[in-house]
Amino acid sequence: MRIISGSNKGKRIIAPKKLPVRPTTDMAKEGLFNILNNHYHFSALRILDLFSGTGNISYEFASRGAEQITSVDGNFECVKFIKKTAAELNYSITVIKSDVFKYLEKSPITADVIFADPPYDFSTEDFLRIAELVFKNNLLSEDGMLIIESGKHTDLSTSPNFVEKRGYGGSVFSFFYKTGDND
């Protein structure tokens, strides 16, 4: 994987093969960040990266100037890798080892962008539970965006906060925003 843009544009990051991850492809990541570029100035964003795996998405936000990034993953080796890589790249990413669902129940953080990349074999109910917890616990800022990455056969459009989805190869990004019901 590589960092697409920003201060470390082109930097390759090699994750250990033993990590139980499926990093977001460069093509999908480029498409996602093209969308985000039209909505936000990265330096002012508070980011919450869930199921962060290798930290791929967190590094991309950091390279583009975001300074308040929290990465959450339940795997000790993933957490260790993100901490090590963030230190090498001089990124101040807060890394938390936690079950993501438990974290969302008790999170003290409000974020502008919440990105979740759970295993593609999650049930649709588990994918929707991420959105439900984010909105129930009011974890998004007023103009915030939740993005959930899934395989192309997962349909999250039944969530009341679902707005649109965009596909890139075998990956789909579903976008969710606050509605008047969640204020």
Q: How far is CA 14 from CA 48, 58, 121, 146, in A?
A: 22, 15, 24, 27
pLDDT computed for residue 72 by the predictor: 98
- pLDDT tens digits, one per residue of 156-168: 999 999 999 999 9
Identify the pLDDT of residue 180. Answer: 55
Structure tokens that stand for 23 in this block: 């990093």
What's the pLDDT at 183? 41
Start and end residues for every CATH 3.40.50.150 domain found in the chain: 99-183
In the block, tokens 């539970």 appear at 129
Structure tokens at 7: 């201060």
pTM of the predicted model, to two decimals? 0.94
Give the fold, CATH level 3, of 99-183.
Rossmann fold (3.40.50)
Cβ atoms 49, 69 nearer than 8 A: yes
**Which segments in the chain show pLDDT lower than 70?**
180-183
pLDDT reported for residue 114: 98
Beta bridge partners of 172: 150, 167
Q: Exposure pattern of 69-89 as b/e (b: 16+ CB <10 Å)?
A: bbbbbbeeebbebbbebbeeb
- What is the maximal distance between C-alpha atoms in the chain? 44
pLDDT for res 132:
97
